[in-house]
Amino acid sequence: MLRVVVSFAALALLLMGALTRAAAQPPGDGAAFDCRDVLPEAETCRPLAKTPFVEGLDDDGEVIGWAARSTDVVDIQAYSGKPLITLVGIDRRGIIVGAKLLKHSEPILLAGIPEKALHDFIARYHGFAAVARVVVGSGGGKDAINVDVISGATVTALAQNQTILHTARELGMAVGVIDVAAVASGHFVERPTPLTWAELVAQGVIGYLRVSEAQMGGASDAADFIAIWFTMADAPQVGRALIGERLYEQLRAKLEPGQHLFVLYGNGSNSFKGSAFVRGGIFDRVRIAQGLRECVFRDTDYAPLSRPATPDAPDFNEGAVFVCRSAQIDPGTPFDLVFLGSVFTGPIARNFREFRATMRLPDSVYVRDAGDDEAMYVQSWREQKWPIALFTGLLVVVIGLFSARRWLTASLARVQRIHFVAMVVSFVLFGIVWRAQPSVTQVLTAIEALVGEWRWELFLSAPFVFIFWIFIVIVSVIWGRGVFCGWVCPYGSGSELLNKLARRLRVPQLEMPRWLGFTRYVALVVLVIIFLQSSILGERAAEIEPFKTAFFIRPWDREWYYVLWFVLLAVLALFMFRPFCRILCPLGAALALLGSFRLSGPRRIKFCSKCNICAKGCEPRAIRPNGTIDPRECLSCMDCEATYRDEKRCPPLVGIARLRIKGPLNERELAKLAELNSERRPL
């Protein structure tokens, strides 16, 4: 028997090593691209002047479309924390005519989901208008185009959707075939009463850029080389406060669609107007930038200002209001004020340095209308709100059961029935239907995020798993890891249910030595080390967990060795209680460490140190010879606590019941009754 278990552990470790080494190489780096890959009708390609884009030409030299690489336009991080480098092509109507993945670092794809699944997902965008509202999953309203999520890679699908659409839109706006208003609609919140300067600052309506003398090579960091307050002043409560009602109304009446008012007030030893304003009517010191779009101001766009119209504003050396005409700036997206400072380093030589300050108009001034520009995690939660509510409710029920533990354990039959129902619900609903199986990869991702950059969006993009982890942390600290592992872990529940069926069929059972449980801690440490070196290798090594094969990916879409590993564990579960959970599960190891100091484990009585009844029935063998319970092994089935309250099974209670039935007791029997009452004293 020992040989069987040791051989099983050795096979598992060898498999982990093989999975770490095996796999396809990542795609090419996408350093260069051919526009014909996404512009099928193009015969030749040529760079588009002053942009990172390429235009495609037909046989007659006519432009038939444009192509862009996503990383030249947007910065959208996927599951791996790195972008999906995608080539996108649009035609002269703003229609997506091609998209091609150049490179990705998605370990969830490399770890088992076929590469073809992502390419098939991208191919669906051919023929979509760049301004269309494309929603991953169901819902989104009657105007939405729905595309199916990639099974097991929801975050990747959401990131790829935004990457393709945003790239196509930025490309379309840059070449003039898409109007910014068609991409991101919104409206200014208009209030008749002008804001005070204090309100403008408090609400974040005004941005601020400061450059010290020291930053420009001077001696003083306290002195201002330039200090600029700036904002978009289209909203009446802002424009009237900063430039006065009369001038505001005059300028606003002349604004055309896509044009905006920008107000700048400055102090310091230098001016934001610059010398080119005097020579050629161009303000070369300041401009507005938003992605690839830039608004450069000319004298025809300019009106001087002495001070803000609102009485409580401070004094400034200079002020200006500009009409932004040269670029389509989206008021609902952050924009930069770019300042180009210069100082003389010789008689005619100058040193130029560029500085930026970013601001976004608050919701009190500009509101983005509902659309597909919402964050990835918002889409995930909105599309699954009712299943999420039911899922959360079921977890709350489990917490309620453990909070009412005295009622739960009043009857051994009751706790066993409820435990059985909980495992069935977990395996079927949590695992098969909702695919909410937590994984050690989330632990590894959290560790990597703590070492590097924490991104809430990554964790929020998987609502079921996010909620599950909140539940796991709460119950592990209070009652130990057994509440999750023993009651609601989809894979663990399936494994235990399979073993219960085998026992009913009288399949012989193997016993596992206690020391073998330490193997899972070794697996956890190895995974952490590998993952910190390479997230891709870490994800591959994490395939020691059979969860993807069990719930996420169809067996016929997986490599044979993943399926073989899953089947091997399932067969072993017929002969052994939860073999993977007790021997190799790195997630269980991590939670065991978290729950080592649980606040409230199963209650014990004094007699437990002399009795072996509960230990014989404890499947995970969590009860030590002295009667205490190992919190790292306990699965919180609560059978032991129900047993010690059972007057037909717990020896002290059985003895007390017999003496009480007997009637008047002699001196020896009274002493025995006192001893038994002492033995039943809770610890």
- How does DSSP assign 256-299, residue by residue? PTT-EEEEEEEESSS-SS-SHHHHHSEEEEEEEEETTEEEEEEG
The Cα–Cα gap between 352 and 215 comes to 11
The Cα–Cα gap between 95 and 272 comes to 41
CB atoms within 10 A of CB 433: 13
- The ranges of the chain with pLDDT < 50 are 1-30, 111, 372
* Exposed/middle/buried for residue 473 (C-beta within 10 Å: 0-12, 13-18, 19+): middle
Q: Could you report the per-residue pLDDT of 594-632, keeping only the tens digit for each?
A: 888 888 888 877 788 788 788 888 888 888 888 888 889
**Angle separating helix axes 385-403 and 463-478, nearest 10 degrees:** 10
CB atoms within 10 A of CB 615: 16
- Give the SS3 label for residue 31: coil
The Cα–Cα gap between 133 and 141 comes to 10
Q: Could you report the per-residue pLDDT of 242-270, keeping only the tens digit for each?
A: 999 999 999 999 998 889 999 999 999 99
**pLDDT the model gives residue 488:** 96
According to DSSP, the β-strands at 335-344 and 293-298 are: unpaired
The tokens of 210 are what? 């400061």
The tokens of 86 are what? 């995608």
- Give the SS3 label for residue 561: helix
